[in-house]
Amino acid sequence: MRKFAVMLLVAGLVAGLVAGSVAAPAVAKRKKKKAKKPVPVEMLLWFQAPEGCTGPLLLMLAEATEGSNCGRNPFYGAGWEIGEAAGQVEPYVFSAGEGLPFTLDGTKPIIATVQVSSYVGGAAGSGVGETRLVATLSGETDGEMVEIGAADVTYLVTPAQSIYEVVVEFEPAKDFDKKVFASFDIALEQRGASVSHGHYRTVDPASKIAIPTLQ
């Protein structure tokens, strides 16, 4: 009798467990969304044509293998305001031809390293005077062209040096954080009191821009 009672008790427990498992709702495991990882993108100023910067000025992921350095406009430096008033001068605009679209990490600065040279290359140059590199970033996001940032750097040019490495740092507005950009441009112009200086080098050495992105 006692054995029979124990068997009934065990059977009841098993039946209860089975019923509970049937009645209990299935709980699906939610997959956690993976956070986007910061991945810096480096674009290089790119121009591959014989002379004169008449072709497209681009930002590419690899350095140009040949080509000239852009900036032969006679109004660069001290003559910029004169040329601008006469409508004969405008910034050199390099547009991304690769690496698009990208998601901007707006919590970090965008850093451009521009190699600027004087008219005569080599160990020395003909450039002289205080000069100011003015740079502006722009791009298309949400179907609208926006200015991402603008900055300028002032430095002194002497005939003793031909090439100057100018680092320009941009702090994007917080509104641009995690925005997807379908286009990206950097506009460069040389102002100040300098003469014979303002070639933006695409080779030997190349100028580049580091963009913090999310992937």
How many domains does one find in the chain?
1
Q: Domain for residue 77, yes or no?
A: yes
Q: Domain for residue 83, yes or no?
A: yes
Q: Domain for residue 95, yes or no?
A: yes
Check residue 47 and give its pLDDT: 80
Are residues 114 and 168 in contact, defined by beta-carbon separation less than 8 angstroms? yes
Q: Domain for residue 142, yes or no?
A: yes
Q: Domain for residue 64, yes or no?
A: yes
Q: How far apart are CA 186 and CA 57, in angstroms?
A: 10
Structure tokens at 167: 């680092």
What domain range is 155 assigned to?
37-214
Q: Domain for residue 18, yes or no?
A: no
Check residue 34 and give its pLDDT: 64
Q: Domain for residue 199, yes or no?
A: yes
Tokens 């003559």 sit on residue? 79
Q: Is 9 helix (H, G, I), strand (E, B) or coil?
A: helix
Query: Whole-prediction pTM value?
Result: 0.80
Low-confidence ranges of the chain (pLDDT < 70): 1-36, 48-54, 67-68, 71-73, 120-124
The CATH number of residue 129's host domain is: 2.60.120.260
Which residue spans within 21-162 are E strands per DSSP?
A: 38-46, 58-60, 92-96, 102-104, 110-118, 129-141, 144-157
Which residue spans within 171-215 are E strands per DSSP?
A: 180-192, 197-200, 208-214
Check residue 54 and give its pLDDT: 66
